[in-house]
Structure 1
Amino acid sequence: MKFGLFIPQGWRHDLVGIDPDQHWGVMAGLARRADGIEDWTSIWVYDHFHPVPQPTEEAVHEAWTLMAAFAGVTGRVRLGQMCTCMAYRNPAYLAKVAATVDVVSEGRLEMGIGAGWYEHEWRAYGYGFPRAGERLAMLREGVDVMRQMWTTGRATLDGEHYQVDGAMCFPRPLQGTSQPGSRNNGIPMWVAGGGERKTLRIAAEYADYTNFDGTPEGFSAKSAILEQHCRDIGREFGEIVRSANYNVVIGRDEREVADRLAAIRDRLLGAGVPEAKVDDTVETYRTGPLVGTPEQVVERLHDLEARGMTYAITYFAEQAYDLTGVELFEREVLPELTDREQHGHLWHLLRGE
């Protein structure tokens, strides 16, 4: 299994109390730290402008600016966004930005893309808020434009939502024809979202990676639908790496887990988030699959792996303030999942396979 790590950027109120002149130092330091730990395959940020679960005046840093900045301070780890909203940037422009970041990072970019959902943010920035079907149509057209630009250096599309007439992208991304993992399509494409009729169909057609519901039952159900879409279009289901995002709240015992949840609650309340929304958010953390002791987290990850989830993107709410949870995960969880030669055979034997 591969693992990615979200770097706190403020979107989830995870830089609260840190002075803005220290934000980049914190983010860059955490990115460099992950870059030096081989078990972390990638680092990630969110493509959002206003924080959740309630818009406040707390800082949120823009995703693609961070992509370029992280490219300059890291040298190994891959760089992703979970996920870029197609409608926030013209797709030809976005393809050009991504190609530049791929060059700057020497071929380390992952392209997360989705239809978008955060209505407050859409309307505040003047994008309106089209119905879901329209947003998904924009996603499909935009992905087409990006693929054209990355593979041929040019794109033309007379679409319902986007009109592109010979937009050029030179240099093309470094990734593509000479590198595995992208089906020779340029930068690896992560299509995020679990919409069963349209999003997963788009994923079947274009995605190198998917990212959807990370609960065991939900993951299995979405995987089955994705497999059927692949069958319908004649694509090999196994070509697509299936991933999910996970809030990790890990402790040596139940008391330490409870203390971490309490700290999340206190920080959100301190940022001015209404108590009811805070309680809902903390409950979402508490009931997540990767909440518990290292032994519990390892067991759940093995179950998810058996269901086909082979790339976990992890989020630690306290990372900007306290690294002990991340360190515990690195010390007692990652070795059990990343060293497949040593651990994989034993796990399959235990499952009777």
Structure 2
Amino acid sequence: MRFGLFVPQGWRMDLVGIPPQQQWGAMLDVARHADAEEGWTSVWVYDHMHTVPEPSEEACHEAWTLMAALAATTGRVRLGQMCTCMSYREPTYLAKVAATVDVISGGRVDMGIGAGWYEHEWRAYGYGFPGAGDRLARLREGVDVFRQMWTTGTATLAGEHYQVDGAMCFPRPLQGSTEGFGGSPRNGIPVWVAGGGERKTLRIAAEYADATNFDGSPEGFEHKSAVLAEHCAAVGRDPGEIVRSANYNVVIGRDAGEVEQRLADVSERYRRAGLSEEAARGQAESLRTQPLVGTPEQVAETLQGLERLGMTYFPEAAFDTSGIELFESEVIPALGG
């Protein structure tokens, strides 16, 4: 099993209390820590403009600007987003941006891509909020554009949502002549199709994805994996070519008391960001019910069970370096990472 972590970019209000002039340094410290520790294979960002669980005036840094900065300041780990919203940028432009960042990074970019969901953010930025069918159709057409531009250097598409006429992408990504992330001979930047929609999203994943990211509960992960395999059979693809992953909000402590203290710290951070007492407490309580909350032994046991179900990649959400260090010293070795 391979492990990645998210830099604290603010979307989950994880930069509260850090002055703006120090926020990039806080993000870079986490990324460079991962770059220096062999147990981590990647660092990740979110593609959002407004914070959750509700929009606020707290910092939320833009994903692809961070991708370029991380490409220039790290040297080993892969760089991804979980996940880029297709409709926030034209796919031709996004393919060009990703190719440029891939060159800057020396060929270390993973393209996480999805249909998008955060309605408040969509409307606030003037994107409207089309129905799920239209958002998924844009996802399918956009991924088609990516593949064309990255593998041939040009793209043409007379789609329902995107009309492309010979858009060029030079230089192509450095990964354009290497094996795909999942071991398949698929040229270009590895594509992670995120989301668990069983009728359309996982079908798109079966057709185009090098990797997926969906439900991280043991039951949900097993079910989504089975649905993905059915779609792969329908399109004539080996499901073993596709990496299956999930991401979690990890709350880890050496004992139950330390876990409780970390949950209390989460609640306090949300209060400082302006959430009501009830809402801040609710955020901590929602974390309590997630799969990877507990001691290193408990977290490792859960991940070992998921590994037996076929999970091979796991990005961890990073909120403080002590939790990261505990995870890498006691959990990663237990999983053979």
Same fold (TM over 0.5): yes
Which residue of 2 is the match for residue 265 of structure 1?
267
Q: Residues 195-251 of structure 1, C-alpha deviation per residue, up to 9 Å, x if partnerless?
A: 000000000000000000000000001001000000111100111000000111001
Aligned residues: 335
Query: Match of 1:176, SS?
Result: helix
1:54 and 1:277 in contact (8 A); partners too: no
1:122 and 1:128 in contact (8 A); partners too: yes
1:200 and 1:226 in contact (8 A); partners too: yes
Which residue of 1 is the match for residue 196 of structure 2?
194
Q: Which runs of 5+ in 1 are unaligned?
A: 340-353
Q: Output aligned runs, 1:166-181, within 5 Å.
A: 166-181=166-181
CA positional deviation for 1:180? 4.8
CA positional deviation for 1:269? 1.0
1:296 aligns with 2:298: yes
What's the TM-score once normalised by structure 2's chain length?
0.98
What's the TM-score once normalised by structure 1's chain length?
0.93
1:334 aligns with 2:336: no
CA positional deviation for 1:30? 1.3
The AA in structure 2 aligned to 1:308 is: G
2:6 and 2:44 in contact (8 A); partners too: yes
1:278 aligns with 2:277: no
Which residue of 2 is the match for residue 157 of structure 1?
157
CA positional deviation for 1:337? 1.1
CA positional deviation for 1:288? 0.9
- In structure 2, the CA distance between the partners of 1:180 and 1:55, relative to structure 1 (3 Å rule), is closer
Which residue of 1 is the match for residue 5 of structure 2?
5
Which residue of 1 is the match for residue 144 of structure 2?
144
Q: Output aligned runs, 1:1-353, within 5 Å.
A: 1-181=1-181, 183-317=185-319, 319=320, 323-339=321-337
2:110 and 2:190 in contact (8 A); partners too: yes
Query: Match of 1:10, SS?
Result: coil
CA positional deviation for 1:270? 1.1
Measure the CA separation in 1 of the matches of 2:189 and 2:180: 11
CA positional deviation for 1:167? 0.1
Measure the CA separation in 1 of the matches of 2:280 and 2:130: 28
Measure the CA separation in 1 of the matches of 2:201 and 2:165: 26
Measure the CA separation in 2 of the matches of 1:171 and 1:309: 34
RMSD across aligned positions (CA): 1.0
Measure the CA separation in 2 of the matches of 1:204 and 1:188: 14
Measure the CA separation in 1 of the matches of 2:179 and 2:239: 20
Q: Percent identity?
A: 70
Q: Residues 295-344 of structure 1, C-alpha deviation per residue, up to 9 Å, x if partnerless?
A: 10110000000011110110133x2xxx21111111100111135xxxxx
CA positional deviation for 1:141? 0.4
1:113 and 1:192 in contact (8 A); partners too: yes
Q: Residues 139-194 of structure 1, C-alpha deviation per residue, up to 9 Å, x if partnerless?
A: 00000001100000000011110011000000100003234536322000000000
Measure the CA separation in 1 of the matches of 2:9 and 2:323: 18
Query: Match of 2:244, SS?
Result: strand
CA positional deviation for 1:274? 3.1
Measure the CA separation in 2 of the matches of 1:134 and 1:215: 28
